[in-house]
């Protein structure tokens, strides 16, 4: 690809991204959003994180016949532990600690699973 074409695409994409990120801030500045919209916007970080986690936990290739169960069972068990700790403590720090610890135990203790 010639450098001229690359620079045209780079500038075009950069301008488009800038407009998409700045336009809502400029257009909504000083306006009060309805309570339903505010509540819905509060779920965006959790939904985005859940989508990323689900994408890593439930890869169809990991459930194929002949695949070692440790490739999918370990992270799934750690996710369940994190969910329980999260509901009980409501603490991100304890979720991180319990997730790392449970994954380490499940993945590195021989014979724990299968």
Q: What is the pLDDT of residues 101-114, one digit of tens each?
A: 998 888 887 666 55
Q: What is the pTM of this model?
A: 0.56
How far, in Å, CA of 22 to CA of 34, rounded? Answer: 21
d(Cα 60, Cα 92) in Å, to the nearest integer?
Answer: 29
Instruction: Tell me the per-residue pLDDT of 73-91, one tens digit each, with 9 for 90 and over.
Output: 888 888 999 999 999 999 9
């Amino acid at each position: 690809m010639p450098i001229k074409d690359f620079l045209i695409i780079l500038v075009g994409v950069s301008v488009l991204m800038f407009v998409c990120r700045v336009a809502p801030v400029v257009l909504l500045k000083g306006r009060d959003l309805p309570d339903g919209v505010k509540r819905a916007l509060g779920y965006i970080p959790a939904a985005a994180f859940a989508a990323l986690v689900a994408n890593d936990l439930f890869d169809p290739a990991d459930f194929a016949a002949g695949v070692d169960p440790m490739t999918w069972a370990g992270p799934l068990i750690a996710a369940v532990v994190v969910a329980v700790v999260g509901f009980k403590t409501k603490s991100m720090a304890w979720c991180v600690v319990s997730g790392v610890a449970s994954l380490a135990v499940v993945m590195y203790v021989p014979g724990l699973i299968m």
